[in-house]
Amino acid sequence: MLRNALDGLTVIDFTQIGAGPTCTMLLADMGARVIKVEPPGGELGRGLGPGWIGDDAALFHGFNRNKLGVALDLKSDAGRAVARRLVAGADVVVESMRPGVMARLGLGAEQLLQAHPALIYCSISAYGQSGPCAEHAGVDGIIQADSGLMGLIGLEGSEPCKVQAPVVDVMTGYVAAMAVLAKLAQRTRDGQGGHLDVNLLNCALALQQSSLTSWLADGALPERVGSAAPYSAPNQAFQTRDGWVMVAAYMPERWQRLCELLGLPHLATDARFATSPLRVAHRQALVPLLTDAFRTRGTDEWLTLLGAADILCARVASYEDVARHPQVAANGMLAEVRHARHGGIRQPGFPVNSAQANAQAHRAAPALGQDTRQVLKDCGFSDADIEALHCAQVVHCAEPAGTALKQPGTAPAATA
């Protein structure tokens, strides 16, 4: 069961917004004890609405389930000392500061690895830890633009478009989690930790594996063709009488069956459309002919007819459609995280063995400083020490607003 695969592993999370929190959330989903360290005012992701769940952005809840929350002022000497004490008991550190910031705080990879050679230290940045752009800041949209990804999206002559979901952030989080798991496996053999450099630019390029490889091979710049695939046709969305349907019928047999189904058998023998590469080359002539036929029926009718003919198809779904999709329900991918104050919070859950994994309870994202007192007590701080740090505003201790569910591998969050 992957939900307890990482029981006994402790991760200190110095990340915010999307990429880093995705990585640490995945580790927490698999049972790691993840201690999320935020500044006393909270991380930036708490304010990035709409939508909102209470005073925090839904985005924050979506990226921070199953974690313990500690609020700590890393700008103070005492706060940095607390952080080093947390790290001393950890297996993994994940940080998403701009390169050089953690080193200036005395919490950089070289400094901590010298003290703790078995530590796995994962740095997540926009451009990487070295090179001419290493110190440049960047977020998902900036990297979508700078990596060429934005140049693929939309239609020729229209404004550049981005994927509205932060796909580069999420992809980077998954890559970082993969890298941490690989390094953990290596550490079981040699006992050594190390520094992992994961960055948004590399992950955005990896998302473009097919299109970049094609350009590197022939130098032909990709066209912006909306929903169409640049490498095959027909493989795009077509307007129906009442919506849109995505159709992939570029394989020879399916292309012939599509022509028959649309009442256009002559297209199957048209020399312009004889192969998928030819159909790509003559897409501007082909698409209007197919669209006219698709507009004669509604989406539901087309889905039935296309499915019966074994032609790959799908509704271009709204989120309302996704929420009632029977396979999404069967997969159990939309998890409900129970929150003591806000009730059930629905969100995409853990994606592997999802029905089984998400049937187990998830711990809600922590309120700011929710677990500060208990985490510090677990590190050996006395009540008096914690109270002194709280009074000096080095740490922030708050009443827990999340669930009291036990996180895998951890004690239940204590009331501060």
Catalytic residues: 169
Pairing between strand 33-38 and 67-72?
Answer: parallel
Please give the angle made by the CA atoms of 396, 340 and 34, to the nearest 5 degrees: 55
What's the number of CA atoms in the CB half-sphere (13 Å) around residue 84?
18
The span from the CA of 370 to the CA of 120, in Å, is 26
**Direct distance between the N- and C-terminal alpha carbons of the chain, in angstroms, rounded to an integer:** 32
Pair 368, 38: CB distance under 8 Å? yes
Task: Give the whole-angstrom CA distance, residue 59 versus residue 52.
Answer: 8
* Biggest alpha carbon–alpha carbon distance for the chain: 85
CA atoms within 13 A on the CB side of 33: 19
Tokens in use for 122?
Answer: 């994962």
d(Cα 159, Cα 175) in Å, to the nearest integer? Answer: 30
β-pairing verdict for 120-125 and 194-199: parallel
Residue with tokens 């994927």: 163
Structure tokens that stand for 230 in this block: 């640049």
User: What Rg value do the Cα atoms of the chain yield, rounded?
Assistant: 25
Q: 43-47: which pairs have CB atoms within 8 A and are 24 or more residues apart?
A: 43/16, 43/17, 44/16, 44/17, 45/16, 45/17, 45/18, 45/21, 46/368
Whole-angstrom Cα distance, residue 177 to residue 232?
33
CA-CA distance, 23 to 29, in Å (whole number)?
Answer: 10
